[in-house]
Structure 1
Amino acid sequence: MADVSLGPPDGKRLREADRGQLLVVAGLVMAVSLVALVVLLNATIFTENLATRGIQAADGEAADVRTTAVGGVGELIDATNREERESHEVTNVTDGVADLDERMARNYAGRGGVVHLETNESRVTEGWYLSTAGNATSLANDTNATAYAFVDGIDRTRGFSLSLSVDDDDLANTTPSNATGEAFHVVFDGPALSESREVYVYRNGSGDVAVANGSAGGDPEVRCSIAAESGENVTFDLTGERLGETACPGVWPVELFAPSDPYAIRFENADAADGTATATVRPRPAGSEPGADHDGISPAVYDATVDLRYRTADLRFETTVRVAPGEPRA
């Protein structure tokens, strides 16, 4: 009979088996470690993406609330000024902000948010509203003067806009070299400026409405122009540096963005344009009445500072905002 019993263990074979098992175990450990690392990395990336999206959403929501509040207060201030009131009473502004607060609160409550908007009379700055709408002819003043002070003794201007007829007989047709003597122009001068600045509006040889500016009465440089048909009206926003829908950079003097000294705005060749001019200004010194060579000047609100708070389950937002719609580069 054959001997089928196992003999004593072979030491060499046993050592080789041990090494093989160790390699298999080590491979499994490395594989598990790699899988765990990948899982952790993916979880980290996912969490970071969620956090980033949460921040962006919160920022967008806060910006939306702020934009709504600033826009509403700005419209309230301008509507108040257009009434051409007889005093600087600002109760209607503070009451209007309270009404806006209630409307915003109702609106954002549907989104799960709580809004509070407030101001008081001490944070409403007095100003003056200017309009040439009552002038009898063209942009000349009440006595038909063609050169006069639109306003004098101010240190801030906002919402300065011209609404002009572009009929052939209403807006002078000229060239930059002749604009000084023939075109309607706005002149900025006073202690805030080292020399006068001029902004001209006229029709050029192609019939387009052109805007040019210069200094100290020198030949102006064209800044922008737009095509316009006779019978139309065009809006020239000086503080917003826009002619119609076209950007007109460099129109507003850089020295007048935040001057520490007063300045004046004057009109020259006012009979070379037909339309109206409006603006809201802040006098210097504060509380004084600026000068103007026309009757279209009335007490107004220049700006208002409001506190805004917004809260949801995931967001707390608080800010204080000065609202001065139409201020240069605001």
Structure 2
Amino acid sequence: MADVNVPPAADGDETDDERRLRDGDRFRDADRGQLLLVAGLVMAVSLVALVVLLNASIYSENLATRGIEAADGEPLEIRAAAVDGTGTLIDATNRERHDSYGSAETAVEDGITDLDGRLARTAAERGGISQLNPTGDGLREGRYVAGSVDDSAAVRDAERTRAFVFAVGEPSLPDASASTAPGTAVTVVFNRTGSNTTHEVYVYDPDDGSDEAAVATATNGTDATETCRLETVDGGRLPVDLTAGTIDGEPCPGIWPAELRGDAVPYDIEFANADGVDAEMTATALTTTEPDGPLADASSPAVYDATLRFRYRTADVRFETTVRVAPG
């Protein structure tokens, strides 16, 4: 019997097994492409969602921070108004020169009550409640001193001094230098009670031919050091603010003795080389002792300072603080 040769299948005449294998490969390729596409889409959506959430978080935090700062600023602003108003009230009351401390104290307390009412109205307009009143320490008695000085003038037993301005007529300034100041310059002496220690502030016209005024300081009258100079122009009184550290408004640091800052040993404020000099002083001292010399008739009972409790409250903020007001 003759052999029969079967020719191979022509193109397009695939067997069923070959067709199934080819279709399976195509499906697997399509599945991998779809998976890659879906995975890329998921990652893109996730990144967008993350950016949106991050931006929302930052925005919310910024809003919350701004809200807190605004809320904190309101009580601080009203507190500053309370301090400034009380300081102005104390100094204005002292300048009225009351005959007794009780009268000055009542005037300041009445003024604080009025200031409390005005601050409360301001707070209410902002949706808050405020309260200002003296603490148990309340007000402290002092002396308001304002008048001319000579070598007999003195302020006794001062525990503290504020707003101390010493003014000297420029034409009457004695000629001196730092080395000769103890014997010739008009001098403010802080004599610390019981310590055998003095601190001096000298004001003079430098004897070098310049049209200037100078200030020097010393301890126990030795080793005087010039701290500042200022050109004189109008020939009027030259104000030296000892507590603020200025001469005619210009900075002159180091005038006030460091040992007298804060709660110090009581001291007397005295003057030397002031006879025949056009000089005067203004100060508020924490003392109940009447001054000596021409200052005896130039002083009056005064309120030295006030310790106050300030409260402020809103729906979101509670603020309470104690503040001591001693202007200058």
Q: Shorter-chain TM-score: which interval?
A: 0.7 to 0.9
Task: Tell me by how many angstroms 1:55 deviates.
Answer: 3.0
Letter in 2 for 1:277: M
Q: TM-score, normalised by structure 1?
A: 0.83
CA distance in structure 2 between the partners assigned to 1:209 and 1:317 by the alignment: 48
Alpha-carbon displacement from aligned partner over 1:199-242 (angstroms, at most 9, x marks no partner): 11122342222221111212422222222213333322111112
Which of the pair has more CA radius of gyration?
Answer: 2
Aligned length: 308
Look up the equivalent residue of 2:189 and give its one-letter code.
V
The one-letter code sitting in structure 2 at the alignment partner of 1:58 is: A
88-97 or 190-199, which deviates more: 190-199
Alpha-carbon spacing, 1:238–1:192, altered in 2? closer, same or farther (3 Å)? farther
Q: Distance in 2 between matches of 1:56 and 1:206?
A: 54
Distance 1:219 1:207, change over 3 A: farther
Unaligned runs of 5+ in 1: 141-145
Cross-structure match for 2:292: 292
Aligned residues: CA RMSD: 2.6
Percentage identity across aligned positions?
49
| Match status 1:96 vs 2:111 | yes
Query: What is the identity, as a one-letter code, of the residue corresponding to 1:102?
Result: G
Deviations 1:89-131 (A, max 9, x none): 1111111101111222334444444332222785111111222
2:9 is matched with none
Q: Give the aligned residue type for 1:69.
A: A
- What does residue 315 of structure 1 align with? 317
- Structure 1 position 39 matched with structure 2 position 52: yes
The answer on whether the counterparts of 1:152 and 1:291 sit within 8 Å (CA) in structure 2 is yes
The aligned runs of 1:135-284 (5 Å cut-off) are 135=148, 139-140=149-150, 146=151, 148-166=152-170, 168=171, 170-191=172-193, 195-204=197-206, 205-271=209-275, 273-283=277-287
Q: Distance in 2 between matches of 1:193 and 1:48?
A: 59
Question: TM-score by structure 2 length?
Answer: 0.84
Matches within 5 A, 1:19-30: 19-30=32-43
- 1:56 corresponds, among 36, 50, 69, to 69
Mapped contact 1:183–1:272 kept (Cα < 8 A): no
Structure in which a larger fraction of residues adopt helix: 2
* Matching residue of 2:304: 302
Per-residue deviation, residues 186-207 of structure 1 (Å, max 9, x unmatched): 1112248673211111223422
Of 225-234 and 295-304, deviating more is 225-234
Runs of 4+ aligned residues of structure 1 deviating over 6 Å after TM superposition are: none
Kindly indicate whether the alpha-carbon contact (under 8 Å) linking 1:193 and 1:255 is maintained by their aligned counterparts in 2.
no
The residue type paired with residue 87 of structure 1 is: S
Question: Quick one: which amino acid aligns to residue 126 of structure 1?
Answer: E
Aligned AA (1:224): C
Partners of 2:67 and 2:276 in 1: CA distance: 57
C-alpha distance in 2 between matches for 1:150 and 1:200: 16
Q: Residues 156 and 289 of structure 2 are in contact (CA less than 8 Å); yes or no, is this contact kept in structure 1?
A: no
Structure-2 change in CA distance of 1:70 and 1:165 (3 Å): same
> Match of 1:128?
143
Distance in 1 between the 2:199 and 2:307 partners? Answer: 31
| SS across alignment from 1:50 | helix
Structure 2 unmatched ranges of 5 or more: 1-11
What is the CA distance between 1:149 and its match in structure 2?
Answer: 5.0
Deviates more, 1:311-320 or 1:251-260: 311-320
